[in-house]
A and B are shown apart, each in its own frame.
Chain A
Amino acid sequence: MREKLLNINELAVHFKLEEGIFKAVDGINISVGKKETVCLVGESGSGKTLTALAVMRLIPKPGFIAGGEVLFLGQDLLKVQEEQMREIRGARVSMVFQEPFTCLNPVYTVGDQIGESVDLHIGLKGLQKKTRVLEVLQLVGISDATRVYGAYPHELSGGMRQRVMIAMGIVSEPDLLIADEPTTALDVTIQAQILELLAALKEKLSLSILLVTHDLGIVNETGDRVYVMYSGRIMESGPKKDIFSGTKHPYTEGLLKSVPDLGPVKNRLYTIPGSIPEPLKVPGGCRFHPRCPYVMDICREKEPAETKFNGEHSAWCFRYGK
């Protein structure tokens, strides 16, 4: 097993709503090793993004981190002072968001926005700062870096903006890059380019990447290990090949079956029946049981414990015993 960079233990993110407490992330464990790409997969609303934001300690109100620990190189990020956290945020752990259209400030130039990080975390000013920004723009594959440097976000295409976001994330050479659906808003060709870029950067900068996505195609292309998340819980985790070819959990199975094939259309595209539980209406027992084709009596009563398979592969399902 590789040395771990990030260990999320029993993390819980709750939302205080008028009608009660919504446990959006309900005690999950995730680890990311050095130079590893870990994918966090699940439907919309399963708590993936919140997990990512919790690592940054940027949970939006009325949400809050209700418990657990986020160990980054052994240090619990949930316990450090806000000031110390700011030195980690954007410097050691960076985040790239889903919507490059709305995530860049419309009234500052690209150079300004990346330069700000350079100033803040590396302490370079003036010309040195500019040189560093141009360097990193080239690193993320922007050939006309000088033009982009002086451009405002609205003057750039979606793919360009996402490259700028990534540039902003990696400019201080962080250890961990969290990418939250980095390609969802982009078309397929650009998506492939961005994924290639992330893979290349990972090699060049010895980055670890926590990739949040709902797209199993992306997982298949880029991931080393995978966590499948559903309604605030991890359902199955393990190395990519085990997840794809030795699928254990019915939810993972469902997700894999819902991926459209290229080629002639044979049948209607498979979908998992039902939908992800609404906040405050999370079913008891295994939370997937209302949608599970193999549901048993015990699934409605108890939450399944972890079943370990060979190596790092685990699933939380009563079909495998506990």
Chain B
Amino acid sequence: MAKYIFKRLLLSIPVLFGITLITFAIIHITPGGPTAIQSNMNAKVSADSVAKLRALYDLDKPVQVQYLKWLGRMARLDFGESFNDNRPALDKILEKIPNTLLLNILSLFLIFIIAVPIGVYSAVKQNSVFDKIFSVSTLIGYSMPTFWLALLLMMYFGVYLHILPVSGMRSQDAGRFPLYLQIFDRLWHLALPVFVSAFGGLASISRYTRSSMLEVIRQDYIRTARAKGLPESRVIYKHALKNALLPIVTLLGLSLPGLIGGGFIFETIFSWPGMGRLGYEAAMNFDYTVIMGVVTFGAVLTLLGNIIADITYALVDPRIRY
């Protein structure tokens, strides 16, 4: 097992290089640059000072040299400074992570505790009215763009009904509230984003559970369990469920990058101060160091998530050993 993990980690390195190289290239191919906003629009800035700025950020050097310099800094875990406010990119990323984590862990938790039972029930009662309603509604849930749903709900609950805040993660004067009210205030701000971010996942995880369960309840060992004289509930919840959940457990590992990486569009819509919004703003401002930092974080987490998924699979399924 340890050998397997080591091998996987080693194999991740070239993939990581590839991801950063491609991202770096794309960023530099995109027209415009970090100096454009500070200078091009401003008539008072002379060509001379633009050149100085470019030299400051190494932008006057060839792209490959810039990439190698970046790699050199990364090797020392130096993410560089934001072009925008000169703060270390790593600090900016690290301070956003808890916000994104809070939002995503809640929504992931919600997804699994709701989606799995619904999926199981729907499979057990296959072709029932419930199952049919389920199939249609998950299809809708799966196909509905989250940003659109987010906007609709913001309009309804925030603008018409005035019962939920439409953006941010705390009220302006929340700092002066007693602790319990601060917690309540946080949950109040979380309601819409958590619901919307859970919505799409709910549909896909429950559909996944349903099809996995349907496959399992047709297996011979389920008949064996019935032939033993076990009550149907034990057959389903002991013998079938554990098998049906095996592939779902993997999904947990795979959702790790999203858990920390956050959704770019999603967080921007809700003005949620997380990783996603940080990445989005950095991209809009050509804040190269922050973009690269966010992407590198995302890439590492994705690769790590894949490895964790494989490891959890081996832990829960006795047939898989590395």
Interface residues of chain A, those whose CB is within 8 Å of chain B, are 56, 58, 60, 86-91, 94-95, 97, 99, 102-109, 116-117, 120-121, 152, 154, 165, 168
Cβ–Cβ contact A90 & B243, under 8 A = no
Interface residues of chain B, those whose CB is within 8 Å of chain A, are 219-221, 223-231, 239, 242-243, 246, 316-319
Cβ–Cβ contact B229 & A106, under 8 A = no
- For B246, the chain A residues whose CB sits under 8 A away are 107
- For B231, the chain A residues whose CB sits under 8 A away are 86
Cβ–Cβ contact B228 & A117, under 8 A = yes
Q: B66: shortest Cβ distance to chain A, in Å? A: 52
If the complex has contacts A152-B318, A154-B318, are A103 and B230 also in contact, measured as CB distance less than 8 A? no
- For A94, the chain B residues whose CB sits under 8 A away are 227
Cβ–Cβ contact A105 & B230, under 8 A = no
| Assembled-state Cα–Cα distance A121/B229 (Å) | 9
| Assembled-state Cα–Cα distance A165/B242 (Å) | 20
Contact of B227 among A58, A87, A102, A109 (CB under 8 A): A58
Q: A93: shortest Cβ distance to chain B, in Å? A: 9
Cβ–Cβ contact A102 & B226, under 8 A = no
| Nearest-neighbor residue (CB-CB) of B239 within chain A | A105
If the complex has contacts A86-B231, A91-B229, are A107 and B243 also in contact, measured as CB distance less than 8 A? yes
Cβ–Cβ contact A103 & B318, under 8 A = no
- 6 nearest A-B residue pairs (beta carbon): A90-B229, A89-B229, A90-B228, A102-B220, A105-B221, A152-B318
- For A90, the chain B residues whose CB sits under 8 A away are 227-230
Sample of 28 A–B contacts (CB below 8 Å): A56-B227, A58-B223, A58-B226, A60-B223, A87-B229, A89-B226, A89-B228, A90-B229, A94-B227, A97-B223, A97-B224, A99-B220, A102-B220, A102-B221, A104-B221, A105-B221, A105-B225, A106-B317, A107-B242, A107-B246, A107-B317, A108-B242, A120-B228, A120-B229, A154-B318, A154-B319, A168-B224, A168-B228
Q: A291: shortest Cβ distance to chain B, in Å? A: 31
| Assembled-state Cα–Cα distance A213/B161 (Å) | 71
Cβ–Cβ contact B317 & A95, under 8 A = no
